[in-house]
Amino acid sequence: GDSVTQMEGPVTLSEEAFLTINCTYTATGYPSLFWYVQYPGEGLQLLLKATKADDKGSNKGFEATYRKETTSFHLEKGSVQVSDSAVYFCALGLSGGYNKLIFGAGTRLAVHP
């Protein structure tokens, strides 16, 4: 079935370090791919998205490229800040499915000064 696999956390980094959070997916058809972020005590917010192969989504210094050949959508940021500490969710949106999003298990990121 359709699914999303993310690297397990927590990921602990020092400020200004490089971040990669791996995400791979299994899906029939051509899904859209998303990264959502959940800050402590809040709901999820869209961070970025990509709707077709080779698209790159970017926002707030974060980037992810939709790689169909490796079924991946890894999240990267060149220099993290303490304020980036949150839980990051990779998700896929299925066409024909009324926006049913399938989420990965989430990866907690903790950034220390």
Q: Does 43 bind another protein (CB under 8 A)?
A: yes
Residue identified by tokens 């961070």 is: 47
Q: Restricting to residues 84-103, which ones interact with another protein according to CB under 8 A?
A: 87, 89, 92-103
* Shortest CB 79 distance to another protein, Å: 25
Query: What are the strands, taking DSSP E only, across the chain?
Result: 3-6, 11-14, 19-21, 23-26, 32-38, 44-50, 56-59, 62-65, 75-77, 86-93, 101-103, 107-112
- Candidates 16-24, 37-45, 63-71, 77-85; binding stretch for another protein (CB under 8 A): 37-45
For another protein, which is the closer residue by CB, 67 or 108? 108
Q: Does 51 bind another protein (CB under 8 A)?
A: yes
37-to-2, 44, 57, 92, 97 alpha-carbon distances in Å = 21, 5, 14, 14, 23
Phi, psi of 83 (to 5 degrees): -70, -10
For another protein, which is the closer residue by CB, 67 or 103? 103
* Residues near another protein (CB under 8 A): 31-32, 34, 36, 38, 41-46, 49, 51, 87, 89, 92-103, 105-106, 108
